[in-house]
Chains A and B, each alone.
Chain A
Amino acid sequence: MPLGERRGCLMTRYIAVRVCKAILTVLFIWTLVFVLSRVTGDPVDWILSEGGSAEAIAQVRHNLGLDFPLWEQYFRAFGDILTGNAGDSYYYARPVSDLFGERFIATFTLGALVFLVTILIGIPLGVLAAVKHNTILDRLTMSISIAGYTIPNFVLGILLIMVFSLYIHVLPSGSYGTAAHYVLPVIAMSVGPTASVARLTRSSMLDVIGQDYLESVRAKGVNEWVVIYKHALRNSMIPVITILGAQLSTIIGGSVIIETVFAWPGIGSLIVSSARQRDFPVVQFGVMMICFSITLINLLVDLSYSILDPRIRVKS
């Protein structure tokens, strides 16, 4: 087989394997959610925790699709979630998909901003720390990054609210609307991920910076910044991209907490308040949506590796 064809074949196989794995992951998590919710007792018991008439119980059973055999429930509920037709919320008495539709923009803009900040500050900070290795700048960056993983995001959020909205009155303490509302939640959410990305970029850059090929580029008389940004950074990006995928999952997980701290009208705070009410359709839909998006992101990350580093697609 000619080399070009062989390579194309490997690539197709690599993509096929990854896609299958992603589908299996989603199915596995759905199975887990389904089994957990059915094994721990009759969902009707905790939905109608005060007890109800036989009629009400039958109604709830019907709404939840509990009057079908188990295997049919499994596929039916999964299909409903896929098509966005996930029933009504018990607490809000409205279709679950409407609730999510209204809140999606608030969560998406917040998450996207945090991700942008993480990349735009985390990577340059890590590069700077690596280039100025063992100077005050390096130590300072690393101390900030220790603070980033020891201070929980909700504690940071509360500190920011106390200082900037209650004592200095420059920024709003919560809710949503203007650009000013974004400032504190974005800071509170991005410190942790930024710190991890900076730490990893630094150590990955330090691994590359000592290598000989950079010396030969320098010997050709190439400008130092070009050496760093074009030759060193590109080669140290693989582990950084891995951690960026993981950080997205951290950001999505953190949004639940930060949205609660800042009374942000997004998906995260909806899921948390629904979990407190034990409003199962909302939580189930939310968790599955999050699971879909994270699996999709991980798939894209995996595929982007193979573009960045051809060695990977051949190995697996």
Chain B
Amino acid sequence: MKIPPFILFLMISFGLIVIASMLAPVLFPIDLSDTELMARFKPPRFIDSGSEYLFGTDSLGRDVGIRLLYATRTSIFIAFAGMVLATIFGLIMGVLSGLNGGLTDLVLTFVTDSQLSVPTTFIGIICATIMGSDAITSIIVIGVTGWPGFARLVRSQVIQLKEANFVESSRSLGATKTRIFFEHILTNISSPLIVYATMNLSSFILLESSLSYIGLGIQPPGTSLGVMVSDGRNYLLQSWWMAIVPSVLIVLLILQISMIGDWLRDKLDPKLKNKS
């Protein structure tokens, strides 16, 4: 498979952001709750070239650059864990409803439909009220809001596949249900599933940062991209970099992931094109 240079560039830059943020505790072992009030609102290096902070400092004198790495780490981790949860749950539900048909199918279709009719932020809000706001809740919220899409995709794929000739011939040779599932169905739905998961990762990052922006995700002193933007909201005039630097990173992550996702879709599964 030939990767166009632009996509390759996106992949490498995304990979670098992920690696750098995952290594944050090794590269810059700091305590996130430490403050340094003497160094408040120091400008970033692109404003004052003599500054010792690449992205300046915030209202509590903390290095915005280092916090940015930790924040990205949290955001990506939560979005990724939520995506895994949504994929697994959606896969199970989709396979159950696709293979069994009948009443199971009817009920599951109804559940996915009803769930899609509640805005994702409200699912986040009710979960945060009931379970409290933290990383685990955010992961659950992403899983809960994300799974219906996966279930729909898997269900439609399974319904197509179970009638396919090669599955039929395998069945007539005496293959068990489990064997058919693992050998034929799972291998054939994995590529559309990966494409769909990649395309959705950007919306999960968006959901996580929106939740933490409105104060219902990660709580201080912990940090995530949304928390940083929300911290900076009150200092837009005197130190705009506090809000703008993490904002740019959010936009960059969403842009990278969705463009890589679109490319993957066109490459691996052109059928999905009209469904998004």
Q: Which residues of A contact B (CB under 8 A)?
A: 21, 24-25, 28-29, 33, 36-37, 40, 46, 149-152, 154-155, 158-159, 161-162, 166, 249-250, 252-254, 256-257, 260-261, 271-272, 274-276, 278-280, 283-284, 286-287, 290-291, 294-295, 298
Q: Are B215 and A28 in contact (CB under 8 A)?
A: no
Closest 10 CB pairs of A and B: A253-B119, A25-B114, A155-B247, A253-B121, A283-B129, A275-B129, A150-B255, A275-B125, A150-B254, A162-B236
Q: Which residues of B contact A (CB under 8 A)?
A: 110-111, 113-114, 117-122, 125-133, 202, 206, 209-210, 213-216, 226, 229, 232-233, 236-237, 240, 243-244, 247, 250-251, 254-255, 258
Give the residue of B110, B114, B215, B236 whose beta carbon is less than 8 angstroms from that of A276.
B215
Give the residue of A25, A151, A287 whose beta carbon is less than 8 angstroms from that of B126.
A287
The smallest beta-carbon distance between A93 and chain B, in angstroms, is 18
Q: Are A291 and B247 in contact (CB under 8 A)?
A: no
The smallest beta-carbon distance between B258 and chain A, in angstroms, is 7
Known: A36-B130, A152-B206. A272 touches B110 (CB 8 A): no
The smallest beta-carbon distance between B68 and chain A, in angstroms, is 15
Identify 6 new A-B residue pairs, CB closer than 8 A, beyond the known A40-B130, A152-B251, A294-B117: A36-B130, A150-B251, A162-B236, A257-B214, A261-B233, A276-B215
Complex Cα distance A94/B215, Å? 24
Chain A interface mostly: helix
23 A–B contacts from the bound complex (CB under 8 Å): A25-B114, A25-B117, A28-B110, A28-B114, A33-B126, A37-B130, A150-B254, A155-B229, A159-B247, A162-B243, A253-B120, A256-B125, A257-B214, A272-B214, A272-B215, A274-B129, A275-B216, A276-B133, A287-B118, A287-B122, A290-B118, A290-B119, A291-B118
Known: A152-B254, A249-B117, A287-B125. A260 touches B229 (CB 8 A): no
Q: Are A152 and B209 in contact (CB under 8 A)?
A: yes
Q: Looking across the interface, which residue of chain B has its beta carbon closest to that of A158? A: B243
Report B-chain residues with C-beta under 8 Å of the C-beta of A275.
125-126, 128-129, 216
Known: A46-B132, A287-B122, A287-B125. A150 touches B210 (CB 8 A): no
Known: A253-B122, A287-B125. A260 touches B117 (CB 8 A): no
Q: Are B236 and A152 in contact (CB under 8 A)?
A: no
Complex Cα distance A37/B232, Å? 33
Complex Cα distance A287/B122, Å? 7
Complex Cα distance A148/B247, Å? 15
Report B-chain residues with C-beta under 8 Å of the C-beta of A298.
117
Complex Cα distance A36/B244, Å? 37
Q: Looking across the interface, which residue of chain A has its beta carbon closest to that of B128? A: A275
The smallest beta-carbon distance between B213 and chain A, in angstroms, is 5
Complex Cα distance A22/B250, Å? 36
Complex Cα distance A149/B236, Å? 24
Q: Are B215 and A158 in contact (CB under 8 A)?
A: no
Q: Looking across the interface, which residue of chain B has its beta carbon closest to that of A277? A: B129
Q: Are B251 and A25 in contact (CB under 8 A)?
A: no
Give the residue of A152, A159, A276, A278 whose beta carbon is less than 8 angstroms from that of B210.
A152
Report A-chain residues with C-beta under 8 Å of the C-beta of B244.
158-159, 162
Report B-chain residues with C-beta under 8 Å of the C-beta of A284.
126
The smallest beta-carbon distance between A176 and chain B, in angstroms, is 18
Report B-chain residues with C-beta under 8 Å of the C-beta of A162.
236, 240, 243-244
Complex Cα distance A40/B128, Å? 12
Q: Are A29 and B118 in contact (CB under 8 A)?
A: yes
